[in-house]
Structure 1
Amino acid sequence: MNVLIIKGSPHEKGTTSLLAKKFEEGARAAGHVVQEIDAAHMDIKSCLGCNYCRKNNGICVHNDDMADAYPMLSDADAIVFVTPLYYFGFTSQIKKVIDRFYAMNSELRAEAKMAYLLAAGADREDWAMEGISATFDVMCRYLRWENAGSVLALGCGSREEIKESKYLSQAEVLGRSV
């Protein structure tokens, strides 16, 4: 199975990089092929909603790094969204990738895929992940993808906090379950 991890943190050595690494270790241990998109460190422009892609066979008006990401999205059987919690949702870096799904909307909605969410935030309140969870659920429903699981790391605003938590082992177990 082909697994695509889409990372959306501007911090290369942040908490979510550890979650992604553990998920990847689990998925590779289970025999899966893993690829990665580091959305925060790629040249990806925002969707303009201009419909150029609809009139030009899925080719976006922007000539940027999403051109490399589209084939990976097509080939993936499972897609893992990895993001720190920014104001109770995805980072803008990962959101740009999601918005650019628009260029291949029909294809993505026609393919059965599994989707996973790995998120970390410093907030400790139980409700802090409700916004991102709801957005993820609705996105999966719209795309007709299976919401295959998530690790929502509360109280993990630093690498030390996440290293001392249960969340890294949960991410590895989730990766093995793909």
Structure 2
Amino acid sequence: MKIIVISGSAHADGASTYLADRFVAGAHVAGQQVDRYNVVDHQTNFVMVAENEDPIPQDDDCAQLLTKVTQADLVVLVTPVYYYAMSSLLKTVVDRFYDINTTLKGMDKQIMMLATAYDPDEHVFDSMKINYRQLANYLGWHDAGTVWDHGALTHPAIDRYGQQAYDLGAQLKD
């Protein structure tokens, strides 16, 4: 199974990176091939659309990511929550899916979401869960699992969410 993990956090050692690391460790134990793409390490321009609704090509690093997304069996989105939504870094990448929208829609892919929030209230994810479901449904991809880590780094349960991420990776089969 080919997996692309797209991390949309600006914090190199933050809770989102921790969940991504744990997922990747589990996936490696399961013998899976994992590519990582940390958005903050690449230039990703906003999606641009012409009046006829065709995407306008961008001179940035996103083309290589979109190729990996197309080739992947599983796309894992990893993000902290900012104002009840995914980070702008990750949202910019997801918006760039529009560049290859007709290719991606209906592909037999799986998708996962690993999200962290400093806020201890689990309702901090409510709107993000709706957006995630809508994205998966729109693309026709299969939800392969989620981790919603509320209260990230503020409680000892961080290891519980890290274990959930690890288990999601470890249970993957070709």
TM band (smaller chain): over 0.9
Residues 108-133 of structure 1, C-alpha deviations (whole Å, 9 max, x = no match): 11311110000001111131111111
State the alpha-carbon separation in 2 of the partners of residues 29 and 53 from structure 1.
43
Instruction: Report whether the alignment pairs 1:47 with 2:60.
Output: no
Offset, 1:162:
6.4
8 Å CA contact 1:53–1:103 kept in 2: the answer is: no
Offset, 1:164:
4.5
8 Å CA contact 2:106–2:141 kept in 1: the answer is: no
Residues 1:172 and 1:109: Cα distance change in structure 2 (over 3 Å): same
State the alpha-carbon separation in 1 of the partners of residues 52 and 40 from structure 2.
24
The aligned residue for residue 2 of structure 2 is: 2
Identical residues among aligned pairs (%) = 29
* Paired residues, number: 172
In the TM superposition, 1:77-156 aligns within 5 A as: 77-156=73-152
Instruction: Report whether the alignment pairs 1:167 with 2:167.
Output: no
8 Å CA contact 1:15–1:162 kept in 2: the answer is: no
C-alpha RMSD of matched pairs (Å): 1.8
8 Å CA contact 2:105–2:140 kept in 1: the answer is: yes
8 Å CA contact 1:4–1:79 kept in 2: the answer is: yes
Unaligned runs of 5+ in 1: none
Find the residue that maps to 1:119 and give its secondary structure. strand
State the alpha-carbon separation in 1 of the partners of residues 51 and 42 from structure 2.
23
